[in-house]
Structure 1
Amino acid sequence: MSIKIYPLQFEPILKDRIWGGEKLNTVLNKSITSKITGESWELSTVEGDVSVVANGELKGKSLTELIDKLPNEILGEAVYARFGNQFPLLFKYLDAREDLSIQVHPNDQLAKERHNSFGKTEMWYVMQADTDARIIVGFKEDSSKEEYLDNLNNKTLVSILDDVKAKAGDVFFLETGTVHAIGAGLVVAEIQQTSDITYRLYDFDRVDAQGNTRELHVDLALDAINYNKVDTHKKYETTPNKSNVVVDCPYFTTNFIPLDGTIEGNKNGNTFTVYMCIEGAFEIRYENVTYQYKKGDTVLIPAAMRNYVLNGSASILEVYIS
């Protein structure tokens, strides 16, 4: 099958959430239509939420369709050998007008046994933060199942969890089992394994417009939680025009590129690459064609694109599978 390979953008999949707001429009220029849009899924093959190409000759094609037809060209030889036709990552932007629920994600083994799914290791890059915005990440001190349940039942869970102020540019890496919540006033870029498995522990007793509370998953979460104190805040270099490593884990590598001018992308065909534009604007030049991107855009570079040029003034997250 003859298909022209080029940088692929996808239609955002917008999700209303009880905690969502309007910053995905005001900060990231997404065409939202509600006042409670919490998430923009930029790149997804989660069942029922599969991304569709928004640009070029392949416009209207789904990501799963492209992978089925061109697995090595899209995913890369090493990624295809490891994951088959599955796209292993999920990319999102989130707007938290209110606190998200306190939650946890299972590891690969539990997720496979219970849900036939990947686990959900993830990272957050804070794009915008209101004054005094914070996140919850893990326990203040090493805890236990008994202490956790006692505080959960007494509605004092927040008192034993680590509450961390967050500002633009902060990165938090959350391994599976880390109890967490994004706090109100944050816009976040999220990179995670392809999984939509979340165990909700506590939701601050809030109700939706119909007066209903959201489902909790207390029993499922008990064996998924890491009860030890964890260090989630990642420090990283910001050398201009260079891929500065932020997170390097078995599931993905994320680099921070402060682009000011031109750099070359030279790839080996083993993995796809994704760029998330988190500030400014840039372009990709490939085979004498120029593709333009701005803050809030996400672009998939198929593995078959070996050589291209990035040019502009932007802060970019570069993500691939090592």
Structure 2
Amino acid sequence: MTMASDELYPYLLDPKLTTQVWGGDELVKLYGKNGDPNARLGESWECWDEDRVRNGTLAGSTVGELRGRLGAQLLGDIDASRIFPVLTKIITAHDWLSVQVHPDDAYAQRVEHQPFGKTECWYVLAAQPDAEIVYGWSRDTSRDEYEARVADGTLGELLRKISVKEGDTVYIPHGLVHAIGPGVTVFETQQASDLTYRMFDYNRLGLDGKPRQLHVEKAADVLDYAQTTSGALRQIDYHFEGLDRTALIADENFIVERVTAVAEPATMATSNRPLILTTLEHAMEVSTAGGSAMLERFQTALIPAAAGRCTVASQGPSAAFMFVTPPASDRQLPARLLAAGVAQADVDAFMAQFRSADASTLAGAPL
């Protein structure tokens, strides 16, 4: 179905805010979200299937309703009958999140009857000087040892904690035990799933005054028990489409970058994929042939795939923003990096952080 071009504009999204036992007031006071600062808000779901459009001719529609109305115009060749495949959040941790793990797609489909498991990543927006996260095991372990330590309360002895700072990127594949620590704020990109298996929650009560549910056996089914030695990821700075960009993540689920717009407009291609843009500290204007929108700080816009191109321009000297898209192919970001003059060895080292990839034969890959 062909849609009028005035329906292919930047959709400003109204995020869902969630209360959490580990939440605080930062989302309202520091990130400008429209909520109760006393409500212990922990997450702002910036782009997901039930967020509503707040501007233009499709105002009031959810992203899911856009899928039904626009189909390939929104998603390109991604299956429009399934939930929007990427979920982005801003998460502010006032206390430790639960020690947890997520399943892969196969387990989610077989056991939970849901389409997606959950691989995710964090870009650290802010962190206290002593901020830490749980990231994997300190040594190899096993299901038997895990279950015994959960039972006797010594699981913490196996957990590996690492320091994080503003600007770090952390990749969390399915199966990796993890937790965000207090004083850390992240921009999270994940598969569109809320499947979380808690293994330990500090014996605290939920907001309803009851102990929060643990999922010890399901976690045991999906955990990777090998020692974790990696930490914050290597990033690549490059210049492409007139914009300074930092490549952060590139796997089969999403590409994540930090991009800087300047006052002079620059145009980005959609590569027949929806784009998710979230401003950081400063405002910028985003335009397509179908219209334009002003993004204030920490606001999110969804660009439909069929827009073809979108133009960004800061309202001051510069405006950084997060750029997220489901990849058109596993070669998309490597091809872009090589086209921008990044050395082959650097591209290979970057991609090796996520999967085995051969970026040496990339002619014709969409940029």
| Aligned equivalents of 2:271, 2:285: Cα separation in 1 | 21
Query: Which stretch shows the higher mean deviation, 207-216 or 28-37?
Result: 207-216
User: Per the alignment, do residues 87 and 195 of structure 1 end up closer, same or farther by CA in structure 2, a change over 3 Å counting?
Assistant: same
| Aligned equivalents of 2:260, 2:9: Cα separation in 1 | 23
In the TM superposition, what is the alpha-carbon distance from 1:84 to its structure 2 partner? 4.0
**Contact 1:22–1:32 at 8 Å: present in 2 too?**
no
What corresponds to 2:309 in structure 1? Answer: 307
What corresponds to 1:124 in structure 2? Answer: 122
What corresponds to 1:39 in structure 2? Answer: 43
Pairing of 1:30-69 with structure 2 (within 5 A):
30-33=33-36, 34-45=38-49, 50-69=50-69
**Contact 2:10–2:287 at 8 Å: present in 1 too?**
no
| Aligned equivalents of 1:35, 1:246: Cα separation in 2 | 32
SS at match of 2:282: strand
User: Per the alignment, do residues 72 and 211 of structure 1 end up closer, same or farther by CA in structure 2, a change over 3 Å counting?
Assistant: closer
1:4-42 per-position Cα deviation (integer Å, ceiling 9, x unaligned): 210011211111111100110122100111330011111
| Aligned equivalents of 1:187, 1:295: Cα separation in 2 | 15
In the TM superposition, what is the alpha-carbon distance from 1:210 to its structure 2 partner? 5.2
User: Per the alignment, do residues 227 and 35 of structure 1 end up closer, same or farther by CA in structure 2, a change over 3 Å counting?
Assistant: same
Pairing of 1:1-322 with structure 2 (within 5 A):
2=4, 4-33=7-36, 34-45=38-49, 50-76=50-76, 78-80=77-79, 84-117=81-114, 118-208=116-206, 211-230=209-228, 231-239=230-238, 241-261=243-263, 262-269=265-272, 271-287=273-289, 289-312=291-314, 313-322=318-327
**Contact 1:125–1:170 at 8 Å: present in 2 too?**
yes
| Aligned equivalents of 1:239, 1:198: Cα separation in 2 | 35
1:77-123 per-position Cα deviation (integer Å, ceiling 9, x unaligned): x223xx64431111111111111000000111111011122100001
Query: Which stretch shows the higher mean deviation, 201-210 or 128-137?
Result: 201-210
Corresponding letter in the other structure for 1:251: N
**Contact 2:303–2:310 at 8 Å: present in 1 too?**
no
Aligned residues: percent identity?
Answer: 32
Count of residues in correspondence between the two structures:
314
Corresponding letter in the other structure for 2:270: K
Corresponding letter in the other structure for 2:154: T
| Aligned equivalents of 1:4, 1:291: Cα separation in 2 | 13
Query: Which stretch shows the higher mean deviation, 119-128 or 230-239?
Result: 230-239
Task: Mark the runs of 5 or more structure 1 residues left unpaired by the alignment.
Answer: none
SS at match of 1:181: strand
| Aligned equivalents of 2:12, 2:18: Cα separation in 1 | 18
Corresponding letter in the other structure for 1:180: H
**Contact 1:239–1:258 at 8 Å: present in 2 too?**
no
User: Per the alignment, do residues 228 and 279 of structure 1 end up closer, same or farther by CA in structure 2, a change over 3 Å counting?
Assistant: farther
What corresponds to 2:358 in structure 1? Answer: none
User: Per the alignment, do residues 248 and 88 of structure 1 end up closer, same or farther by CA in structure 2, a change over 3 Å counting?
Assistant: same
Length-normalised TM-score, structure 1: 0.92
Corresponding letter in the other structure for 1:141: R
**Contact 1:243–1:318 at 8 Å: present in 2 too?**
no
Query: Which stretch shows the higher mean deviation, 220-229 or 309-318?
Result: 309-318
**Contact 2:261–2:319 at 8 Å: present in 1 too?**
yes
1:162-205 per-position Cα deviation (integer Å, ceiling 9, x unaligned): 10111111111100001010111111111100111110100001
In the TM superposition, what is the alpha-carbon distance from 1:232 to its structure 2 partner? 4.4
User: Per the alignment, do residues 280 and 245 of structure 1 end up closer, same or farther by CA in structure 2, a change over 3 Å counting?
Assistant: same
Task: Mark the runs of 5 or more structure 2 residues left unpaired by the alignment.
Answer: 328-367
Length-normalised TM-score, structure 2: 0.81
Corresponding letter in the other structure for 1:314: A
What corresponds to 2:353 in structure 1? Answer: none
Corresponding letter in the other structure for 1:265: M
Corresponding letter in the other structure for 2:161: D
Corresponding letter in the other structure for 1:36: R
| Aligned equivalents of 2:83, 2:210: Cα separation in 1 | 35
